[in-house]
A = this chain, B = another copy of it.
């Protein structure tokens, strides 16, 4: 900020009232004479007054902003985030809820050790009232750091270690089962999987559910190649799978981006989708629609989940300190398009 901005004091002088009265008008407190309200309002207009956030925060201990932290690591982590529509849905879902309540969502990236430190400092020094975190690492220390700093926090997905913190999550096993059952119902018999990282609970559970569907139907455990949620890793996994099982006729990929990578490789190897090989993705992100062919996929209601996160956080910020952590579990749903 720049040139000496007008303060409450200036407005008060201009309107011929006290600071307290101006403050009441600004904050919409009742018990102010309507005529004086007008007086003050026009004085605010004339002076171009804007409340100073720091001053207000200092006394109210509220900032009105919520940090939305995307946490992970590795090369080009930020690049990966901006290549997977999944994160856009999280941001959108959370923003919708927060905006309606006049809370400002700010997006932060904890993509490296120093970055994480800066981010933790940011919220811990009171620049945000709380944190919504979506982490793509199994061993992410961020939630515990936040908790230790007494920052109200809600997670997307249950953490690997048991931590007393609220979170929203999906019934991943049910999702994997949906995918497996659909491929079987289509008549696929030589089915493989491109899994998410198995150190991730979501990765393990999606795969477990998928396997469960197959074995329950009397099939062997399927071959699995592990990916890391990126298009590239999906392509690589599919290449491996194809080499070792050229006769594969059905593939379940643990997210849409990897499914797209798989589709690219399959086509390059002359396989028609879904005729020769059926492909099922996971997420139902915008990629599922733009992929060629459009993906049959397991829908994860990400926007709803993110909005729920924001709601949980709001309650935690306002409510009693002793609020029990909540875990909200959402149900996946199969969306059938062309790929399977």
Given A58-B58, A81-B88, A83-B286: A65 and B2 within 8 A (CB)?
no
B85 touches A321 (CB 8 A): no
Interface residues of A in 156-194 (CB under 8 A from B): none
Given A99-B114, A104-B119, A290-B231: A1 and B150 within 8 A (CB)?
yes
B85 touches A102 (CB 8 A): no
B83 touches A51 (CB 8 A): no
Given A55-B58, A57-B54: A127 and B85 within 8 A (CB)?
no
Interface residues of A in 191-232 (CB under 8 A from B): 231-232
From A87, which residue of chain B is reached at the shortest CB distance?
Answer: B82
B321 touches A292 (CB 8 A): no
From A91, which residue of chain B is reached at the shortest CB distance?
Answer: B78
Contact residues in B for A114 (Cβ distance below 8 Å):
99
Partner of A108 from the list B82, B83, B106, B261 (CB cut-off 8 Å) is: B106
Contact residues in B for A57 (Cβ distance below 8 Å):
53-54
Interface residues of A in 100-114 (CB under 8 A from B): 102, 104-109, 111, 114
8 closest A-B pairs by CB = A82-B88, A107-B107, A2-B150, A54-B57, A106-B106, A53-B125, A54-B58, A79-B88
Distance, CA A160 to CA B83, complexed state (A): 28
Partner of A78 from the list B92, B104, B124 (CB cut-off 8 Å) is: B92
Q: Is A271 an interface residue, CB under 8 A from the partner?
A: no
9 A–B contacts, CB within 8 A, in A order: A1-B150, A54-B55, A79-B88, A79-B286, A80-B88, A99-B114, A99-B115, A106-B107, A232-B290
Q: Is A151 an interface residue, CB under 8 A from the partner?
A: yes
A88 touches B78 (CB 8 A): yes
A124 touches B50 (CB 8 A): yes
Q: Is A274 an interface residue, CB under 8 A from the partner?
A: no
Q: Which of A57, A76, A114 has the most CB of B within 10 A?
A: A57
From residue A9, how far is it (CB to closest CB) to chain B in Å?
Answer: 15
Q: Is A264 an interface residue, CB under 8 A from the partner?
A: yes
Given A54-B126, A88-B82, A268-B292: A61 and B1 within 8 A (CB)?
yes
Q: Is A47 an interface residue, CB under 8 A from the partner?
A: no
What is the interface of chain A, defined by CB distance below 8 A to chain B?
A: 1-3, 5, 50-55, 57-58, 61, 63, 65, 76, 78-89, 91-92, 95, 99, 102, 104-109, 111, 114-115, 118-119, 121-122, 124-127, 129, 149-152, 231-232, 261, 264, 267-268, 286-287, 290, 292, 321
From A125, which residue of chain B is reached at the shortest CB distance?
Answer: B53
From residue A134, how far is it (CB to closest CB) to chain B in Å?
Answer: 12
From residue A316, how far is it (CB to closest CB) to chain B in Å?
Answer: 10
From residue A222, how far is it (CB to closest CB) to chain B in Å?
Answer: 26
B126 touches A53 (CB 8 A): yes
Partner of A109 from the list B95, B108, B109, B127 (CB cut-off 8 Å) is: B95
Distance, CA A61 to CA B52, complexed state (A): 10
Contact residues in B for A125 (Cβ distance below 8 Å):
50-53
Contact residues in B for A286 (Cβ distance below 8 Å):
76, 79, 83
